[in-house]
Amino acid sequence: MSSNIIDAIDQAIADTTVSLDAMRSVPGDADGIRVVVIPADEDEPITLRYLARDENGSTLRAMQATVGGYVDVVRTAEGVDVWINDEGLLMGLPFNERATAFVHAVKWALATCEWSGAVSLSLRDAMEEALVAQRYTRLVGPAIISGCNDEGETVSVPDVAVEFLQKMGLM
């Protein structure tokens, strides 16, 4: 990583305004979801946020407001999704080095069996995905890390993902 992203990570750690314990005390997923927001601007801190559900029970509008447009999902591991602006490349949004690093690190952790979450990939498949991610995955604009349940619904970010971000030194 470049020295400016390391400086940004240090600043993000110093500027984090909501603790993990505080986020665990928010209402359950029925009312909204806990997410991690990773701004593309390295000067902005990575934060834990609560996205409330709308009158239809959806967090889509809150997610769209956070990324600044339509959303698209990048599946990283079983139960962990990264949401980005679907038109971010077309809009010329800035490269999000920290979100991209998270995606690559999760793929690598799956490949090396260091991911403490549920692992659904064989070692060979995980290694292949990690190499493809390193070569082609470059996320732009703000990113949201959330969870995903067995039915494919977006739910609160799992603790394992937050802990992984902390181990990476991003939070």
Question: CA 133 to CA 12: how far, in whole Å?
Answer: 25
Contact between residue 104 and residue 134 where contact means Cβ atoms under 8 Å apart: yes
Q: Where are the domains of the chain?
A: 3-168
Q: Judge residue 76's burial from the number of C-beta atoms within 10 Å of its C-beta, 0-12 exposed, 13-18 middle, 19 or more buried.
A: buried
Task: Give the pLDDT of the chain (171 residues) as one tens digit per residue.
Answer: 445 544 443 443 343 333 344 333 344 567 899 999 999 999 999 999 999 999 998 999 999 999 999 999 998 877 889 999 999 999 999 999 889 888 877 777 766 665 555 445 454 565 566 556 656 678 999 999 999 888 888 999 988 888 888 877 777
